[in-house]
Structure 1
Amino acid sequence: MSKDRWVLTAVWVLSFGLIFTIPRRKIRLAVMSFLFKLMLTCPIGLIVVEYNLVAYPVVELPDVSRTSMTYEYFAYPIICMVFNCYYPSGRSRCVQFSYYIIFCMPLTITEVILEHYTNLVRYVHWSWFCTMLSLMITFLLSRMFCVWFFNRKRAPASNM
């Protein structure tokens, strides 16, 4: 098995392991976070690849999509689950902003390392800053959605 396939396998194993870090009382939050992140990453990932900003030379299903299924549809949404389940909502804005950095910076550094040493990702018209910015924006959107979804008032059922 090639180095790239080993890395993909390791990402799947580590991502699957992260599922078990989710507290039982936050399963609904985790699932909603996962699904919302999928809704964001599916079209964004396809657009980025179609506009030749990023290329994925090694893909899992080349006949289906040129995006990385492992990253876009599994690892990234699972990391977002963990992000939302452990978000420091009662803390200061500085702590909350640091939380975004704590999650986004390692993901960005990992992607840069993978870009340099594997064939899993190639930056065409992209940079590490674009990755960091897109991660922070999508994490923020995911957090905003989860806060909205779980804090909204349920409308009473109408008698028709």
Structure 2
Amino acid sequence: MYRYLSEVALLKRDKMILYTIWFFTVGLLLTFVPKHRIRQALLAYFFKQSMTWLFGLLVVENRFIIYPVRLFKKVNKSSFSYEYFFYPSFCALFNLYYPEKKPFWIRALYNIFYTGLLTGIEVLAEKYTNLIKYVNWRWYWSFLSIGLTNYASHLFYRWFFKEE
């Protein structure tokens, strides 16, 4: 009986974390995406979402990662909250504030910071919650894939808006 109650409490805690992440991310977007740059943010958001849709499904379907607690369980086995909202939202902010005219080392640190922040959040979630569980996965694969997709999204963003 006690184990069942603790599992219910953990499930409620994890769902509350997901709701908090949604609320926090919406707040970040409303605060840091200026009205005159919504178009640019949406492009970065949707481009990243298309990449995370493909890579996220490959990782989940091959059982490298599982998401035991999800808000939309009937959609697919990946985390809708992370793959389709949280991660692309941070990529939109990444692109809007990318230090384009700064030296290479500042741009590299900027990418490492964003990549490290998202990887760190994922590692903490894997260790302390049931939101994500690594099966045949390691944190450095997340770091590498996030860093590369951030860079790819910025190349696309820069190409798309080169005339402006």
Q: What is the TM-score of this pair, normalised by structure 2?
A: 0.90
Amino acid in structure 2 at the alignment position of 1:47: L
Contact 2:51–2:149 (CA<8 Å) still a contact in 1?
Answer: yes
Q: 2:70, 2:77 → 1: CA distance?
A: 6
Q: Match for 2:125 among 110, 114, 129?
A: 114
Alignment RMSD (CA, Å): 1.3
| Aligned pairs for 1:9-158 within 5 A | 9-20=19-30, 21-151=32-162
1:152 CA displacement: 5.2
Task: Return the structure number with greater helix share.
Answer: 2
SS state at 2:59 partner: helix
Amino acid in structure 1 at the alignment position of 2:93: V
Number of residues of Structure 1 aligned to a counterpart in Structure 2: 153
Q: 1:108, 1:42 → 2: CA distance?
A: 18
Contact 2:15–2:71 (CA<8 Å) still a contact in 1?
Answer: no
Amino acid in structure 1 at the alignment position of 2:37: K
Q: Structure 1 unaligned segments of length 5 or more: list them.
A: 154-160
Q: What is the TM-score of this pair, normalised by structure 1?
A: 0.92
Aligned to 1:8: 18
Amino acid in structure 2 at the alignment position of 1:42: W
- Runs of 4+ that moved beyond 6 A: none
Q: Structure 2 unaligned segments of length 5 or more: list them.
A: 1-8
Q: 2:109, 2:36 → 1: CA distance?
A: 25
Q: Cα deviations across residues 114-153 of structure 1 (Å, max 9, x unaligned)?
A: 1011100000111110010010011001000000111159
Q: Cα deviations across residues 30-76 of structure 1 (Å, max 9, x unaligned)?
A: 01001101110111111100011100011222222111010011111
